[in-house]
Structures are given as structure tokens and as C-alpha cells.
Amino acid sequence: MKDVYRFADAVVAVESLYPAVHDYCRAYRFDGAPELTVRITPADLTAERQKSAAEDRAEGRAVRDFADDYLEILAVYRKLAEWAPLRETVLLHGSAVAVDGAAYLFTAKSGVGKSTHAALWQAAFGSRAVIINDDKPLLRITQDGVTVFGTPWDGKHRRSANCAAPLRALCILERAAQTQVIPISASQAMPLLLQQIYRPADPAALAATLRLLDRLTQTVPLYRMGCNMAPSAAVIAYEAMKG
Amino acid sequence: MKLKPSFIAYDTQDQSMLVPTGSAGFAGLVQGNRTLGAILSLLKTETTEAEVVAAMCARFDAPQAQIAQDVGRVLDALRGIGALDE
């Protein structure tokens, strides 16, 4: 099964073993000549199964047994993320929300509440706010600026849109008793960003990722936010970061 | 010995890091000061522990025994995460 999609302005053909991935990506379907063909093999599914099992063991969970068509969805995202840095694009684990056409990206350690916070923005700003992607947005980082793109890989709540917006600010989210937003330096942000960015298996692609991360942190304002998840947190964050 | 290709030394303004690729088998980060950065830089090409200690002694004003101990500690940590080809 084969179809063509556009992710972060890149035209990508996906050749799959199962139909599910095409349904998953249908909002990104595109007619055009692909720059990349992602071809999934049974070995890719085996690798995904092994990776998932290793993560479960590392986190002390019972090993989950995922269906092949679900693993194929992960395998497509991984192949895309492996290739993306060579096209000035990275995948960063986080929740991206646009308000009035400018994007704000929240990243955090697992379980802190990125999705909860993004939902607060939607509640606070209504139709002015769009959740671009609630889990795995793509960032195109060029000399002209940083643009956040939606992807189909949008977390358990399946919140995303096939749209893009210039990145106004990047914020590291932490739980705190009171909401407070402070500017931070690239050095302060880097350890967490390196944990949350997709790190390719190919050393050349990782080196490209690190160069892009440098460019990102030099061009986009960085913040750390202690957040109590009260409804007012979204407005406080927006006022601090809108510039 | 030298760093495996699956680990990349990376410097920010005020810290040095060792970043593993997605296939390195180690998912964390190694962070440190410029001393770590200097050691990682030496490990980009084939070298020995004695050569690393000598290069660090030439660069930093500290007793050789202290430098040798610090280098040994860093190399042990790198071995522990499988970052060295030996």
C-alpha cells in the first residue's frame, strides 16, 4: 500500500504493509513528487517491538504487546524523524499551541502535564487558539526562523491540526505551587531539550540535529514555567511570552 | 581508545556534553564542565589514558596525580555507558 503525504513542507511517500498508517496520516495526504520514500519492512516492525519492550522494561512496566499495524505507525514516524534533520527539521516531544497565528511550544519531562496545559490555552483563548500538535510536532529551523508544523503523531488525545505557525517562544514546563514564567538561557534549556528532541541513530543526522538545536536556542526566546494547572496559568504564560 | 561514533561531544556556552545517538544503547546525557569537554575532545581520535593525562597536565595548572585521578574517573564513567572503543 502506498500513498503520498506532506509533513513539514516535505513530500513523503509511504509504502506500508498495513492500511492503518494511511488512515492515521490521511489529513496530510498530498499530490506531489516525493523527496523521500518511507518503505516499511517486517524487520522495521520487529525493531519497533523490541524498542517498545526495552522501554517498558526500563520503566519497570509489564511488556506490552502491540499490533503490527500500530507498530507500523511508529516505524513511519521514526523513519521520517531520522531523515528530517538533513532537511533542517527536527521532531521535538512537546505540545504546540498557536494563538493569533504565533506558536508557543511547551516541553517537559513525561507526566508533568503538557497536554493539560495546552488544553488550558484552548479553554482560555477559545477560537483564537489552535493546538498544532499535542505530542510530536516538527520544527523547521532555517536561517529565516523557526516554524512549527502539525503531524499525525499527536499523542493519546489525538489533538493536532495540519497547519503551521512561526514559533514565538519555547517553554520548559514544570509543576509548581504557583504559576511563574522566567526567561532562561540556552545552556539552562539544553539538557532537557536534548532529552526531548528526537535523537537519530545516524551520527551525521544527530550532528545535524545538534546544529539545528543551537540555531533554535539562539533565535527563539526560551522560558521556564512553574505551573499549577489553574485556568489562569494559560493567560499568565501567554502574557509573559507573547513579546 | 576513542569515542564510539554513536556518541557525539557537544559544547554549549558554559558546559560540555556527550550526546548518544538513538542507537547507542544509552538514553541519558553526560554533562560536565570544560574539563570534561577537553577530555572528550581528546577522545575524538585514538589515544591512551596516559596521553590524555599528559595533554590535560599541559593544559591545566593542577597536580598530575589529581589530573590523573580526574581523567580516570571520567574514563570509567564513559566505559560504564559503553561510549569507548577500546
Of the ranges A39-43, A128-132, A226-230, which one carries the lowest mean pLDDT score? Answer: A226-230
| C-alpha dihedral, A164 to A170 to A175 to A179, nearest 10° | -100
Q: What is the mean pLDDT of residues A119-124?
A: 92
A190 interfacial to chain B (CB closer than 8 Å): yes
Across the interface, do A203 and B27 touch by the CB < 8 Å criterion?
no
pLDDT value at position B34?
85
CB-based contact A89:A134 (threshold 8 Å): no
Question: Would strands B84-85 and B2-3 be described as parallel, antiparallel, or unpaired?
Answer: antiparallel
Gap from B17 CA to chain A (nearest CA, Å): 9
A110 in contact with chain B, both atoms CB, cutoff 8 A: no
A58 with B17: Cβ contact below 8 A: no
| Pair A150, A8: CB distance under 8 Å | no
Q: Residue A158: which region, alpha, beta or left (left: phi > 0; alpha: psi -120 to 50)?
A: left
A contact test, residue of B13, B23, B30 with most A CBs within 10 A: B23
Q: What is the pTM of this model?
A: 0.93
Grid cell listed for A32: 506531489
Question: What is the reported pLDDT for A161?
Answer: 93
- A and B: number of Cβ contacts within 8 A: 43
Q: What is the pLDDT of residues B4-51, one digit of tens each?
A: 999 999 988 788 999 999 988 888 899 998 889 999 999 999 999 999
Query: Which secondary structure element, helix H or strand E, spans residue A170, and what is its range?
Result: strand A164-175
Q: Which fold has domain A89-241?
A: Phosphoenolpyruvate Carboxykinase; domain 3 (3.90.228)
pLDDT band at A179; cut points 50, 70, 90:
confident
| Domain residue ranges in chain A | 2-87, 89-241
- DSSP annotation of A27: G
Q: Which residues pair with A91 in a beta bridge?
A: A138
Structural domain including B9 reads 2-85
